[in-house]
A and B are shown apart, each in its own frame.
Chain A
Amino acid sequence: MALLQISEPGEATAPHQHRLAVGIDLGTTNSLVATVRSGMPLVLSDELGRPLLPSVVHYAAQGVQSVGYEAQAQQALDPKNTILSIKRFMGRGVKDIAHIEGMPYDFVDAEGMVRLRTAAGVKTPVEISAEILRVLCERAEASLGGMLTGAVITVPAYFDDAQRQATKDAARLAGLNVLRLLNEPTAAAIAYGLDNSAEGIYAVYDLGGGTFDISILRLSKGIFEVLATGGDTSLGGDDFDQRVFCWIIEEAKLAPLSHSDARLLQMRAREAKEYLTYHGEAPITVKLGSGEYVDVRLTSEVFTEITHNLVHKTLSPTRKALRDAGLSIEEVKGVVMVGGATRMPQIQHAVGEFFKQEPLNNLDPDKVVALGAATQANLLAGNRATGDDWLLLDVIPLSLGLEMMGGLSEKIIPRNSTIPIARAQEFTTFKDGQTAMAIHVVQGERELVSDCRSLARFELRGIPPMAAGAARIRVTFQVDADGLLSVTAREQVTGHEARIEVKPSYGLSDDEITGMLKDGFVHASQDAFRRALREAQVEAQRLLEATHTALSEDPQLLSTLERAHIDSCVGKLQAVLVGDDRRAIDAALSALNQATVEFASRRMNHSVQRALSGKTIAEIS
């Protein structure tokens, strides 16, 4: 294993091996995987040359029967076990899902995230999404000929914390190393911006199968900066299908339908919608299982009329995002259209009218997100040279807050704050000798907690008994670069670390995830163990490489003694790396991590000082 031949000492940007990284667009209707090959992003197709993977999973008694086109073909035959548009259920409870009564699934009534009872047992949306990711991961590894270093997975910009966390959990279940969760419109902006060397203010209007996002970005050389984002996570092409579906029922005066007939009609509704993009009228003919014939014609005028308010619904988040960015319509240089649903002429028309300019349609609206994600993954994996890279600044879409007395939400982090961001808030006890405190974290813009999304409830315990108002409990919210929230709490007066009990409102607990991972290992035999070992080895190589680079860049920041300690940890890790003892690798890995903490910190300080020392004397005085 040629571990340390990667770069010569003192040569920070020496070429190293190309790391396999992909971008995954985990869509409501379709999913894609893309990578960068010879400097060009491209979507990876299946063995039949098809770039899209329908986001459909079909379960049978023994487990997953099929994913993608094959599963899609089962939707009307086995509606209960053929799961479509699972993205709409991610991080959601039963009461959040629109039209749930018309869905053919067997929902399990439980607290928190919705679950579906299938022929293969009860499944969470996280597990179902993981099946889609697994297929894409296999496709990529087969096509690229090796194990992936990591993946960038896209999420709607307007996804809240529960939805993001669910997506990351799904990737973890699928065995993917997530380099970053990337907002879909931001991914599209990267693809568009790099392709067209665009500079200035751009809007990305992204109407997918199930979600709508609008992002306002400022593009300048080397920086993609999101100024504001808005949207609706339950508005997309599916809703247009639903309108057509309802119209057909009314027009053909149909009696209540079986689940199979409903699915059949939904498919026809969708085909009609797509047909109307290029024709003035769509014939809809179906022979239902009930023996009834449907034969109606939908004109584009009627289609526009019955979907008018859906189109309108995308414009108020657009206005809001512009206002949050402090910009007027005139300042927007271009509007990039993303998502298959933007093909509809009435959308094109409405967007053009709103922004007073022709929308930009020069990228394939189905692929642009995956291509942008692949480009970012390639950057994050370290496959681009310094100077030939860019910086991405994204924001948190919804405000984060805490429940206060009277059921009101107190905002701690406002929406559209650039991430990563942290804010702290101090609380005190209101009773003498109070030793516990309940904290409820919510996300959303509304004043009442009941109108916001509940993220988690937790209890601080073990607060030392003091007089009312004497304790100072500092709760810190940290949102990382994936847009994910973590919370820490500490009692300030005594420095006591309070114990926290978490009840994620719509998420899965760590125990549940670990359980699912274990289940996966039991079923997947030896392969999974080999994969886990390989992952530890990849992780170890990554750290060795990083340490080597750091040592060659800034050797002067270490004393001889410190250097010797790090060198010895490096040696130990290299020694165990060739074996297959995963525990030994993990232990040596953690020792080296520990040994380099202080060094990393000094390097960061040093780097910032160097960055700032470029300024002129006039600025200092």
Chain B
Amino acid sequence: MTLSTAPTEMSNDFTQDHYTLFGLPRRYAIDPAELERLYREVLTRVHPDKHISRSDAEQRLAMQWSTQANEAYQTLRRPLQRAQYLLHLAGIDVQLESNTAMPTEFLAQQMEWREAVEETSSAGDIRALEQMRRRIEQEMSEQYRQLEIQLDVEPDHLAACATVRQMMFQEKLLHEIDDALETLEA
């Protein structure tokens, strides 16, 4: 690892948003194939491997551009991150909204899930854990449809924010299941 204190200033506008970078409209609905095509198109031009025998400045630029393109692609291709990012562009920080109350019903269900994960993982039931994983994913795909309505069709940022926050719980649960599976399989 190397350390330096002087980040090089470049004239490139690295503050441009992820949608602008790929020339895409700011919406939740995205064609994944088209996004991937644009990403590859950009990366083919800017990847450091394509600038290896060029000037130092060009190599540095290539790294910064690729970094930006990777970040933009990774954010836009994942629906939950994309929704969060759209809200961020609209001036809403999902993380900061965490003091708003969640529906009791939802929280109760989360508690139930969490207990179930704990029980099945201590029982060592890999199959049950995998089943649970699929059920959560199913539920999430329903929530993704909701997000499309809340963000694109009849924009309601606060409702979208609530959905995103619920989904963050779900995603965390998925991670916990993965961790449990990992421990069981090791």
Which A residues have a C-beta under 8 Å from some C-beta of B? 149, 161-162, 165, 179-180, 223, 316, 319-320, 323, 379-382, 391-393, 417-422, 441, 455-456, 458, 476, 478, 480-481, 484-490, 497-500, 502, 504, 507, 542-543, 545-547, 550, 592-594, 596-598, 600-605, 607-608, 610-612, 614-615, 619-621
Q: Flag whether B103 is at the interface (Cβ < 8 A).
A: no
Contact pattern, B 24-67, Cβ under 8 Å of A = 1, otherwise 0:
11000000001000101111111111101111111001110111
Determine which of A319, A486, A542, A610 lies in contact with B2 in the assembled complex, contact meaning CB atoms within 8 Å: A486
| Residues of chain B within 8 A of A593, CB atoms compared | 55-57
Q: What CA separation (Å) do A335 and B22 show in the bound complex?
A: 34
Q: Flag whether B185 is at the interface (Cβ < 8 A).
A: yes
Q: Are B57 and A316 in contact (CB under 8 A)?
A: no
| Residues of chain A within 8 A of B7, CB atoms compared | 476, 488, 490
Q: Are A484 and B1 in contact (CB under 8 A)?
A: yes
Q: For residue A384, give the distance in angstroms from its CB to the closest CB of chain B.
A: 11
Contact pattern, B 1-25, Cβ under 8 Å of A = 1, otherwise 0:
1111111001110000000001111
Q: Flag whether B186 is at the interface (Cβ < 8 A).
A: yes
| Residues of chain A within 8 A of B42, CB atoms compared | 608, 611-612
Q: Are A615 and B48 in contact (CB under 8 A)?
A: no
Q: Flag whether B182 is at the interface (Cβ < 8 A).
A: yes
Q: Which of A392, A422, A490, A502 has the most CB of B within 10 A?
A: A422
Q: What CA separation (Å) do A179 and B55 show in the bound complex?
A: 14
Contacts A316-B185, A455-B1, A619-B34 given: A607-B45 contact, CB under 8 Å? yes
Interface residues in B127-161 by Cβ distance below 8 A to A read none
| Residues of chain A within 8 A of B47, CB atoms compared | 391, 481
| Residues of chain B within 8 A of A620, CB atoms compared | 23, 25
A-B contact pairs, 26 of them (CB 8 A): A223-B40, A320-B182, A323-B178, A380-B53, A391-B47, A391-B49, A418-B70, A421-B71, A481-B48, A481-B49, A484-B1, A488-B4, A488-B6, A489-B5, A497-B6, A550-B54, A597-B57, A600-B58, A600-B61, A601-B10, A601-B12, A607-B46, A608-B42, A608-B65, A619-B24, A620-B23
Q: Are A486 and B1 in contact (CB under 8 A)?
A: yes
Q: Are B49 and A596 in contact (CB under 8 A)?
A: no
In the complex, which residue of chain B has the Cβ closest to the Cβ of A486?
A: B2
Q: What CA separation (Å) do A500 and B52 show in the bound complex?
A: 29
Contacts A502-B3, A601-B61 given: A608-B46 contact, CB under 8 Å? yes
Q: Flag whether B92 is at the interface (Cβ < 8 A).
A: no
Q: What CA separation (Å) do A615 and B186 show in the bound complex?
A: 47
Contacts A391-B44, A601-B12 given: A500-B70 contact, CB under 8 Å? no
Contacts A391-B47, A481-B48, A611-B45 given: A546-B71 contact, CB under 8 Å? no
Q: Are B43 and A604 in contact (CB under 8 A)?
A: no
Which B residues have a C-beta under 8 Å from some C-beta of A? 1-7, 10-12, 22-25, 34, 38, 40-50, 52-58, 61-63, 65-67, 70-71, 73-74, 178, 181-182, 185-186
Q: For residue B125, give the distance in angstroms from its CB to the closest CB of chain A.
A: 17
Q: What CA separation (Å) do A441 and B3 show in the bound complex?
A: 11
Q: Which of A320, A420, A610 has the most CB of B within 10 A?
A: A420
Q: Are B48 and A420 in contact (CB under 8 A)?
A: yes
In the complex, which residue of chain B has the Cβ closest to the Cβ of A316?
A: B186
Q: Are B41 and A612 in contact (CB under 8 A)?
A: yes
Q: Are A604 and B12 in contact (CB under 8 A)?
A: yes
In the complex, which residue of chain A has the Cβ closest to the Cβ of B38?
A: A612
Determine which of B41, B45, B54, B74 lies in contact with A418 in the assembled complex, contact meaning CB atoms within 8 Å: B74
Q: What CA separation (Å) do A223 and B36 show in the bound complex?
A: 12
| Residues of chain B within 8 A of A489, CB atoms compared | 5
Q: Are A382 and B55 in contact (CB under 8 A)?
A: no
Q: What CA separation (Å) do A54 and B151 show in the bound complex?
A: 61
In the complex, which residue of chain B has the Cβ closest to the Cβ of A312?
A: B186
Q: Are B11 and A601 in contact (CB under 8 A)?
A: yes
In the complex, which residue of chain A has the Cβ closest to the Cβ of B34?
A: A619
Q: What CA separation (Å) do A620 and B50 show in the bound complex?
A: 28
Q: What CA separation (Å) do A161 and B2 show in the bound complex?
A: 10
| Residues of chain A within 8 A of B62, CB atoms compared | 604
Q: Are A480 and B48 in contact (CB under 8 A)?
A: yes
In the complex, which residue of chain B has the Cβ closest to the Cβ of A382?
A: B53
List 19 other contacts, CB 8 Å, given A488-B4, A488-B5, A604-B61.
A162-B1, A165-B2, A179-B52, A316-B182, A319-B185, A379-B49, A456-B3, A478-B63, A478-B67, A488-B7, A498-B5, A504-B1, A550-B54, A593-B56, A597-B10, A601-B11, A605-B12, A611-B45, A621-B25
The 3 closest A-B pairs by CB, nearest first: A600-B58, A597-B57, A481-B48
Determine which of B22, B63, B181 lies in contact with A612 in the assembled complex, contact meaning CB atoms within 8 Å: B22
| Residues of chain A within 8 A of B44, CB atoms compared | 391, 611
Q: For residue B128, give the distance in angstroms from its CB to the closest CB of chain A.
A: 17
Q: Are B23 and A596 in contact (CB under 8 A)?
A: no
| Residues of chain A within 8 A of B57, CB atoms compared | 593-594, 596-597, 600-601
| Residues of chain B within 8 A of A480, CB atoms compared | 48, 63
| Residues of chain A within 8 A of B66, CB atoms compared | 420, 481
Q: What CA separation (Å) do A476 and B65 show in the bound complex?
A: 16
Q: Are A180 and B49 in contact (CB under 8 A)?
A: yes
| Residues of chain B within 8 A of A486, CB atoms compared | 1-4
Contacts A179-B52, A497-B6 given: A604-B46 contact, CB under 8 Å? yes
Q: What CA separation (Å) do A481 and B22 show in the bound complex?
A: 21
In the complex, which residue of chain A has the Cβ closest to the Cβ of B186?
A: A316
